[in-house]
A and B are shown apart, each in its own frame.
Chain A
Amino acid sequence: MQKALLIDPDKCTGCLQCEMACSFEHEGRFNPSRSRIRVFTFHHEGCFVPYACTQCADAWCLQACPVEAIVDDRTLGVKRVVDERCVGCKVCTIACPFGTINYSQASGKVIKCDLCGGDPACARACPTTAIRYTDADQTGYEKMRRWAARSITAAEATA
């Protein structure tokens, strides 16, 4: 069974421990601006929504990459950026309709969630279990991503 990040916004307090953990894991510094997971604040609604790449089956980023710098790691179910291949053209950043692959000016390449190779630092750091790493088929997040993906792929509706 593949695992995925299960995100429960109801439990999120907006503390950004996940963003620090993510950036520390990938960059060796506490730098939320370089985190692959982001917590969005809905001030008026009083809610916080952590959000990262859903490793979607459509893999818009992977498909759009002109030099195969994004690969599908099937054992983990992860779409991973191969830094040595990425030229920084940013086409994936506009192709991903979820806005979860971003260009990093510092490295000149794109960055996205890679599930930390199977032990996501964000889930470990979350103090409220708002982010868990668990079986993929039971995640509400999964449902959301399918719905969101469907709303886009309606453009390619099967006849």
Chain B
Amino acid sequence: MAWTGKILRVNLSEGTLVAEELNREWADQYLGQRGLATKYLVEEIAPDCDPLGPDNKLILATGPLTGTMASTGGRYSVVTKGPLTGCVACSNSGGFMGNELKNAGWDMIIVEGRSPEPVYLYIENEHAELLPADEIWGTSVWRTDEWLHNRHQDPLLRIAAVGRPAEKGCLYAAIINDLHRAAGRSGVGAVMASKNLKAVAVRGTLGVGNLKDPKRFIEAVDAAKRVLANNAVTGQGLPTYGTQVLMNVINELGALPTDNAREVQFDGAHDISGEAMHEPRPNDGKPNLVRNAGCFGCTIACGRISTIDKGHFTVSHKPEYWGASGGLEYEAAWALGADTGVDDLDALTYANFLCNEDGMDPISLGATIAAAMELTACGALAPERTGGIEFRFGSAEALVKGAEWVARGEGFGLDLALGSKRLCEKYGHPELSMTVKGQEFPAYDPRGIQGMGLTYATSNRGACHLRSYTVASEVLGIPEKTDPLTTDGKPALVKAFQDATAAVDSSGLCVFTTFAWTLEDIAPQIDAACEGDWDVDKLLTVGERIWNMERDFNLRAGIGGDEDRLPERLIKEAAKTGPAKGLVNGLDKMLPEYYELRGWSADGVPRAETRARLGLS
């Protein structure tokens, strides 16, 4: 089993809440979470619907291993049509929400329509209701969180909420759960707010069980935990430095996009690195990092808990930010730091707190501010358009003000809330937007890590590192080392990573386990828990099926092969420094081979025999 077998369908327009049986046939084909929720989405919405209209749906989905003792088994995904890209959007989050939903007896919540008034969804096991959100509408996620805990007098209520940017239509608004874990990318928060749904608050006390073979499951889980503990990355690097272990590594590799990707190395990289987070601050002698923290069930614990120097200009008059909260992970440190040229760790941490407090994707926010800085540098944006502050590369003040304005939905923040693509179009320089399909690319420069170019270009949710993290192979040698500077073999690598990741994202597990685990470690855990026979081959087929299903949706939404592109800069302007000096990304060499490997036509459409093989209509 492992699935609860129950879906909660919430129609906000009608105010109805209905329990449905999970489609078991689909669960066998799409596993859970990302795959299964996407299957429901593509079956239920018109691909051309307005992402922010009532016809779009928002699905919160757990995987079969969510809520179990499998390490990292606390994940859930938010699946919808994304407003930033128009593509299928799937944002994965940890924390404690997924587990709670599962403990309340639900595999999935499907949210439809649009409420006439702001509401929140309250779930206590089988009891679910919509309650008025008047008192929290217009407030931050953190305020909402506290209010709901008091309102229901339950410190163990798990809450996922949107902040003010989502309400104001920020296209990269995130859904934040447990104060600082995020379904971060692709603007899933904007979709939730567009439905007048402020929060989902869940308490589950039913427990997760019904495993196919509990004894074998515990054995498989224990064995897999030992693999994580004994691996250098998941056993030491990530707990100690978090994903920030990468900052110096990627910088030295010449793959750290800097100043809106004008450069590939950042002088201030060390100052914003994982190592720097351990160093005592000059002012108070305390390090930025308080400790590492785990999401539900996670035996890696890469999460950062940080503080800001109380004397720092960002918070010196704001004691509400003096406590510890979720700190910088690598993507956020890069976007808010290297990409904007800001090397002030406290300023970055503050901006990161704001992203958590009000629900913004720090990658898109940082990259959009970076784009505004380049627009400023080329004279397209004057300080009078940007609240009197000069958006110059390296300006911590601009970064902080930009983040505050987006958080509050004020002034130039409304422009920044559009995301890089629309901002650059508005100010006449679309070429300065470092996006694919409208979504900002993250912290790996495809000139220095070639496989990431193909990863970004073909990602079904717009530019994203998490769809096929070839960095693992090209930089860290996992599962085997490939040369980051060549395109050779990368299409196969990208396809393999994409399919495997789609399966992992559908299981309830965290993709970071794959620094240590292969599907050989994961399959026995799923197989012991779930009905059916789950081996590596089946998982890869499920992954490939999911990938093609997502692609199909995008095609039907009008987003085809001509959008499998990178920003001009990455394929025309060579890296100026570092190991990749003189290189551009070789996407044109990789893409046709990739299509062929995928069984797609030359314009990127899955062929009939590919569909048939995967059982797609």
Contacts and interface: CB of A to CB of B under 8 A. Distances in A.
Q: Do chains A and B stick together as partners?
A: yes
Interface string B215-226: 000100000010
A30 B204 contact: no
Interface in B221-266: 225, 229, 239
A14 to B, nearest CB: 5
Interface string B46-74: 00000000000000000000011101000
A99 to B, nearest CB: 12
A47 B325 CA distance: 10
A88 interface: no
Given A30-B69, A33-B103, A46-B290, A20 B324 contact: no
Chain B interface residue count: which class? Answer: 35 or more
Interface in A118-144: 125, 127-128
Interface stretch (B15-23, B206-214, B335-343): B206-214
B294 interface: yes
B297 interface: yes
Given A30-B207, A31-B206, A127-B225, A46 B296 contact: no
B97 to A, nearest CB: 13
Given A15-B294, A16-B297, A46-B291, A32 B225 contact: no
Given A21-B69, A30-B69, A33-B204, A43 B323 contact: yes
B45 to A, nearest CB: 33
B570 interface: no
Given A46-B290, A47-B291, A127-B299, A30 B324 contact: no
Given A21-B69, A33-B156, A43-B179, A14 B209 contact: no
A122 B17 CA distance: 37
B301 A27 contact: no
Contact of A31 (B208, B301, B323, B325): B208
B384 to A, nearest CB: 39
Interface string A46-61: 1110000000000000
A30 B294 contact: no
Given A24-B69, A125-B69, A127-B225, A15 B299 contact: yes
B194 to A, nearest CB: 29
A158 B69 CA distance: 48
Given A13-B301, A127-B299, A43 B325 contact: yes
A20 B69 contact: yes
B229 A13 contact: no
Interface in B276-301: 290-299, 301
Given A31-B206, A34-B205, A127-B229, A20 B297 contact: yes
A85 interface: no
B204 A13 contact: no
B305 interface: yes
Contacts of B290: 45-47
Given A13-B294, A15-B295, A30-B68, A44 B205 contact: no
B140 interface: no
B62 to A, nearest CB: 13
Contacts of A21: 69
A14 B295 CA distance: 7
Contacts of B225: 127
Interface string B324-336: 1100000000000
Contacts of B305: 46
Nearest to B214: A28
Contact of B207 (A23, A43, A48, A127): A23
A148 B291 CA distance: 27
B125 to A, nearest CB: 10
Interface string B177-190: 00100000000000
B386 interface: no
Contacts of A31: 103, 205-208
B470 interface: no
A150 interface: no
Interface string A34-74: 10000000011111100000000000000000000000000
Given A13-B293, A15-B299, A29 B208 contact: yes
B307 A46 contact: yes
A125 B296 CA distance: 13
A33 B225 CA distance: 23
Contacts of B297: 15-17, 20
B293 A30 contact: no
A15 B296 CA distance: 5
B560 to A, nearest CB: 43
A23 B103 CA distance: 12
B301 A28 contact: no
B207 A29 contact: yes
A16 B293 CA distance: 11
7 smallest A-B Cβ distances: which pairs? Answer: A31-B207, A29-B207, A46-B324, A44-B323, A15-B294, A46-B290, A127-B299
Given A13-B292, A45-B323, A128-B301, 11 more contacts: A13-B298, A13-B301, A14-B293, A15-B301, A16-B297, A20-B69, A27-B207, A31-B205, A31-B208, A44-B323, A44-B324
Interface of B: 67-69, 71, 96, 99, 103, 156, 179, 204-209, 214, 218, 225, 229, 239, 290-299, 301, 303, 305-307, 323-325
25 contacts: A13-B292, A13-B293, A13-B303, A15-B299, A17-B69, A24-B69, A28-B209, A29-B206, A29-B209, A31-B206, A31-B207, A32-B99, A32-B103, A34-B207, A43-B325, A44-B323, A44-B324, A44-B325, A45-B324, A46-B293, A46-B325, A47-B290, A125-B69, A127-B229, A128-B301
